[in-house]
Amino acid sequence: MKYKVLIVDDHFVVREGLKLILETSDTYEVVAEAEEGAMALNLIEELQPDVILMDLNMPKMSGLEAIERLKEQQSTIPIIILTTYNEDKLMIRGLSLGAKGYLLKDTSRENLFRTIESAIRGETLLQPEITSRIFSFKEKQSFSAPSLASEKVIFTEREQNILQAVAEGSTSKKIALELGISERTVKAHLTNIYTKLGVNSRSQAVAIAVDRGIIHQ
């Protein structure tokens, strides 16, 4: 069985490059490409891909607006943001809306596959270099997200440690080994963290926790 991938980017070269890389794997099949958000939404409804690679800054309907529409539809298809070095505000907004992860457009083949695999499993792989950009952006200016709440969220020390480790790019397995607990326990703590923040993914949790000053670089 191959996982169906939809690539959404207004640059032909980016779409072709990703497609060529994905076609070297027996695990993934690029079922369609779109160059703007409205086209992507139609293809998503028709094809029900297993994962979406989504650019944010596109003409007509942006990727950000497409993600908002999918959130309204309560879509569970994992979205991975395709980002460049000058799109921090858009990237953070996309994460706060529920995108499962993010990739630089010049990412390596290995990182592309790891990130997609994690998104399909429901466990976002956070890249430390992009998490650093979230912290840097926070230092320059605050950002708002629809799921942010004004009340203070109280975390246990263990939850705080796990959230900090997630922001640093650690997997559940690595966190479990470092803390001397089971991977199942780590995931249980993550579920509690998501509930307290009103989110459903690691990337959302990190974006919102950075904004609230819950975790630090």
Structural domains of the chain, count: 2
Query: Do residues 120 and 41 both lie within one domain?
Result: yes
Residue 41 included in any domain? yes
How far apart (Å, rounded) are the C-alpha atoms in residues 89 and 204?
14
Q: With a cut of 50, which residues of the chain have pLDDT below it?
A: 143-150
Query: Do residues 16 and 58 both lie within one domain?
Result: yes
Query: Do residues 96 and 201 both lie within one domain?
Result: no
Residue 132 included in any domain? no
Query: Do residues 117 and 149 both lie within one domain?
Result: no
pLDDT computed for residue 140 by the predictor: 56
Residues linked to residue 101 through DSSP beta bridges, in sequence order: 80
Residue 136 included in any domain? no
Which sign does the torsion angle of CA 217, 198, 84, 47 carry?
positive
pLDDT computed for residue 149 by the predictor: 44
How far apart (Å, rounded) are the C-alpha atoms in residues 124 and 127?
9
Query: Do residues 119 and 150 both lie within one domain?
Result: no
How far apart (Å, rounded) are the C-alpha atoms in residues 178 and 88?
30
pTM > 0.85: yes or no: no
In the chain, how long is the greatest CA-to-CA distance? 50
pLDDT computed for residue 10 by the predictor: 92
pLDDT computed for residue 210 by the predictor: 76
How far apart (Å, rounded) are the C-alpha atoms in residues 81 and 116?
11
Range of the domain at 195: 143-211
Residue 23 included in any domain? yes
pLDDT computed for residue 155 by the predictor: 87
